[in-house]
Structure 1
């Protein structure tokens, strides 16, 4: 029997280095800070640490604009600091996954500095250049960060493509020299001893030819004509040579496409991030609004991916990350401290018993919440700042106070406020002035308090991680959704030949009744975020945001 790959049984913890721990007091998190907190992560029980970018960068997009892939950003420390962190992590049984950002570079990368100099420069075709059309940008395609995706370069009279900031020019993956440079760099990191890559917007590396035709009405940047060819080449030349975990960020991916990216036999990636759930409460202006989610839609999306990839590919499981608001503020309840803790545990239960590799975003294990932004001056995220100026200042479509409410609800900065370690100044994150404000609730919500409280969200996550390591049914079992139209309860069954789990999660502020499937009548309580008897009757009454898991041995 083939052995289950280690990454299928692992739990990943995402670190946003700028906001995790500052060791030198300059207000910015760093690699030495991460090293100082490895014991905490070992105690939590996670297996893998995914680091958001730590490479040299001018920081136009918080490190996702890389100017040197083989150097460390000065604010984060040195390569020696990285090597120390890697050694210390491995000593604790923790693996390190790097963030690979190769759809684009910084405009300060040496390749682009050369590329923009002249049309006949050897690096010209490392990027995507186009002549003006009637004196304007070649096509009306828009950047993901607002405005045109084409930036005019007066040095050569052409436009270059940037699907994100104008300081993030897109690489031309159709150029074999670009692919060779990227693969060589990846091999360099693998030989250092890292354990995998999270690949930023990897579904965007191959641009459709129609993308460059002015008369074309559709400009889909994802799943281009050569993306699978290029990833298979990456696998042959890099990934297959090492024992790695690979996950592709694939906005716009379908179940069918995911089976190509992360299929059992496609020789591309281990798993993908898909973002269908992240749009579940979107409105007229996308994330900027007062939209609410329907639980039936949440269940439909999760179940589509659970069913669609079972036996054919592998899921990534997450509620939030560095690009999303805090999950307990978005999907749970922060009305009272008790409901915040209970709903944070419920959300964790709902996610961690599904099939796939779960990702915990830093602070999620504490139940950290969104920040109460009142002014744009508190924001650091280019996406939120650009959207404010466009929708409020330029178009006048949203009132300032409404936009600030939307930022409090949806801004990426909500995830980027400093990790809350203790109740001392700046939440123990830094002795200096933090680069972004600390959430004022750090005196109540912090790691030190959580470690001291046996009923904390932290200790609940420990139990979830332990159960995933111990119970094969969580990794390999089937998934069956119960009550798809119920707008209060998310209930499902995980099952293999020896065990069945009944997972009950309430998303309601009131009590709810659930009719228990008859065969679970003799099952035992495996886990709960409330105090409950172990025996199960024909029906159960769930308290607000309660979660229970029952186990039936066959």
Structure 2
């Protein structure tokens, strides 16, 4: 089934780090508006903006104190309205983060809830008595430490799966849901084009809030199985759809840790009227200690192919390799030391041309890399600071901790956008809120706009190719060379039209035989090397797209 959001190319903006318009060192809404022409020229159809709501910033805006006001650092509601109008004037669309697993502890709902045990909003959050002078259960928060915080005023604990200043909403309470739905309709009536729904996988909790047995032996955070894609969660999604989502022509993308391909259709099936797409976590392994390790091509083949096949003719994939919670993909999967450009562009082609809507995270299109950290003072992210304390308590040295967080820390993706070679990478005329990556003079938009072989212009070519070829949007995916240890290859097929995508996911040349995969009748329409030297041999991190 054709749909506008299936044919779109999306771009994620982390507003604090995108563009500062007033010199205070903090990215803002007017800065985004200034760069709309750049996004239009890149070929973007859909923009996703991370939270810009009023917030005390305990978790960089994901702790919301008012869903219907703009954070003062980012501007005003009038600035947002001007941005939305500018997006629509250029034929693009805009979605925003819907963060309703939790609020800030400064949200009026929570202030009422904590005011007394008999307040009407008490049950809008999850409160429990302690036991034997300790927390209600042994659940651990996603950002480490207990998932419970004691409130001395009412002498009970409230649940917070993230930071202690992000109390979880109680989705069993229908009055709370109604208030959330009113807020959603307010934004949709304003004219936004949908939502990325944050932490949706955690909204349903194990009803008894029971202890987790043998917590140290679990793969994820100890309590994760008690609130990760828990049975009954889809009832909440159905209720949200009945009351809000199905009444608008919008796109919805759920952040879905803990969901695997065999159950994907339940969430995004064409006829289920639930979500448009989900961001699955299998290929990025978010929240796992080994997240920074480079996956083998065989692992990526297994995961991507499972999702492609599971949703073929049934639902739709959201394609991504970077976001605000992940390290930079060229540092994580590629070879920034010897083959920075080649690996950045190879990875781009790998995920971008599968069946689904591709998302680009700001700076990904110029191959931005991980940054460098000198000590704990260089980290801003609350999860990194918590991890530092935990590792230090385990006796790990400062050098070991920095090395670990350099590979896994979310701060890597939150350094200011690198626009040009000016001071602060052209991000701000003032002192940036966070350190600019030292490589901005080499990696920036202005330099790459002038280089026809740049990462940026390769992304432009990818977007243009996908836009003009319906097969690369709706065509069936078919894996090729499944046993090859270096090459990830797949076809896209629609009617009599066929494309072949070849990606050498290694820093060594890779060969295959004509018997394994023939190129007879094929024409190379895109590649990241100047010319095709040998038909059945790929250079390090070479990618080619053939049409038959």
TM-score w.r.t. the length of structure 2 is 0.95
Offset of residue 175 of structure 1: 0.2
User: Corresponding residue for 1:488?
Assistant: 486
From 300, 303, 308, give the equivalent of 1:301: 303
SS at match of 1:71: strand
SS in 1 for 2:96: strand
Distance 1:191 1:147, change over 3 A: same
Task: Compare 65-74 and 253-262 and name the one that shifted more.
Answer: 253-262
Report the 3-state secondary structure (helix = DSSP H, G, I; strand = E; otherwise coil) of the residue aligned with 1:264. Answer: coil
Contact 2:51-2:61 at 8 Å conserved across structures? yes
Residue 120 of structure 2 is aligned to residue 118 of structure 1? no
- 1:357 corresponds to 2:363: no
Aligned length: 539
How far residue 450 of structure 1 moved from its aligned partner, in angstroms, is 1.0
CA displacement 1:113-140 (0-9 Å, x = unmatched): 1111110011101100011112211111
Any unmatched runs of 5+ in structure 1? none
2:465 — aligned with what?
467
Matches within 5 A, 1:236-385: 236-279=242-285, 285-287=289-291, 291-336=293-338, 339-385=339-385
Using the TM superposition, give the Cα deviation of residue 492 of structure 1 relative to its aligned residue in structure 2, in angstroms: 1.1
TM-superposed deviation, 1:293: 2.2
* Structure 1 match to 2:452: 454
| 1:544 alignment partner, one of 537, 540, 546 | 540
Kindly provide the CA deviation profile for residues 211-233 of structure 1, in whole angstroms up to 9, marking residues without a partner as x: 34577976421223332122112
Deviation at 1:281, TM superposition (A): 11
**Alpha-carbon offset, residue 151 of structure 1:** 0.8
- Are residues 480 and 325 of structure 1, via their aligned partners in 2, closer, same or farther at CA, if it must alter by over 3 Å? same
Displacement of 1:167 after TM fit? Answer: 0.2
Which structure 2 residues correspond to residues 87-98 of structure 1 after superposition, within 5 A? 87-98=85-96
Q: Retained in 1: the 8 A contact 2:481–2:517?
A: no
Q: Does the aligned pair in 1 maintain the 2:294–2:333 contact within 8 Å?
A: no
Which secondary structure does the structure 2 equivalent of 1:515 belong to?
A: coil
Secondary structure of 1:459's match? Answer: helix
Partner of 1:17: 15
Tell me how far apart the structure 2 counterparts of residues 452 and 216 of structure 1 sit (CA, whole Å): 57
Q: What's the offset of the Cα at 1:514?
A: 2.1
Q: Secondary structure at the match of 1:545?
A: coil
Tell me if structure 1 keeps the 8 A contact 2:370–2:412: yes
> Following superposition of structure 1 onto structure 2, how do residues 527-542 of structure 1 map, counting pairs within 5 Å?
527-533=526-532, 537=535, 540-542=536-538
- Alpha-carbon separation, structure 2, partners of 1:292 and 1:348: 16
Measured in 1, the distance between the counterparts of 2:430 and 2:287 equals 37
Q: State the SS of the aligned residue for 1:322.
A: coil
What's the secondary structure of 2:149's corresponding residue?
strand
Q: CA deviation at 1:210?
A: 3.8
Deviation, 1:432, is 0.8
Cα-to-partner distance string for 1:183-238 (whole Å, 9 max, x where unaligned): 10000000100011000011211212143457797642122333212211211221
Shift of residue 351 of structure 1? 0.8
What is the 5 A alignment of 1:5-154? 5-154=3-152
Match of residue 413, structure 1, among 411, 414, 417:
411
SS in 2 for 1:209: coil
Please give the alpha-carbon distance, in whole angstroms, between the structure 1 residues aligned to 2:273 and 2:167: 28
Q: Is the 8 A contact 1:512 1:542 kept in 2?
A: yes
Aligned: 1:520 with 2:519: yes
Tell me which of 225, 236, 248 is aligned to 1:230: 236
Query: Which secondary structure does the structure 1 equivalent of 2:241 belong to?
Result: helix
Aligned equivalents of 2:518, 2:296: Cα separation in 1: 29
The answer to whether the 8 Å contact 1:280/1:297 transfers is no
Residues 1:497 and 1:482: Cα distance change in structure 2 (over 3 Å): same
Contact 1:56 1:67 in 2 (8 A): yes
Aligned equivalents of 2:185, 2:501: Cα separation in 1: 42
SS in 2 for 1:96: strand
Rounded to whole Å, the distance in 1 between the matches of 2:87 and 2:319 is 23
For residues 28-72 of structure 1, give each alpha carbon's deviation from its aligned partner in whole angstroms, at most 9, with x where no partner exists: 000000000000000000100000000000000000000000000
Q: Distance in 2 between matches of 1:469 and 1:436?
A: 36
Q: Does the CA-based 8 Å contact 2:421-2:440 persist in structure 1?
A: yes
Give the Cα separation in 1 of the matches to 2:287 and 2:204.
Answer: 29
Q: Does the 8 A contact of 1:281 with 1:293 survive in 2?
A: no
| Unaligned stretches of 5+ residues in structure 2 | 216-222
Moved more, 214-223 or 186-195: 214-223
**What are the superposed Cα offsets for residues 419-461 of structure 1, whole Å, 9 maximum, x if unpaired?**
0000000000001111110001101111111111111111111
Aligned-residue CA RMSD in angstroms? 1.7
Corresponding residue SS for 1:188: helix
Give the Cα–Cα distance (whole angstroms) in 2 for the partners of residues 510 and 432 of structure 1. Answer: 43
Partner of 1:229: helix, strand, or coil? helix
Name the CA shift for 1:494/1:281 in 2 (closer, same or farther; >3 Å): farther
For residues 470 and 508 of structure 1, the distance between their equivalents in structure 2, rounded to whole angstroms, comes to 30
SS in 1 for 2:67: strand
CA distance in 2, matches of 1:257, 1:70: 34
TM-score by length of 1: 0.94
CA contact (8 A) 1:260 1:266 kept: yes
Q: Secondary structure at the match of 1:261?
A: helix
Kindly state the Cα deviation for residue 314 of structure 1 after the two structures are TM-superposed.
Answer: 1.2
Tell me the equivalent position of 1:200: 198
Partner of 1:389: 389
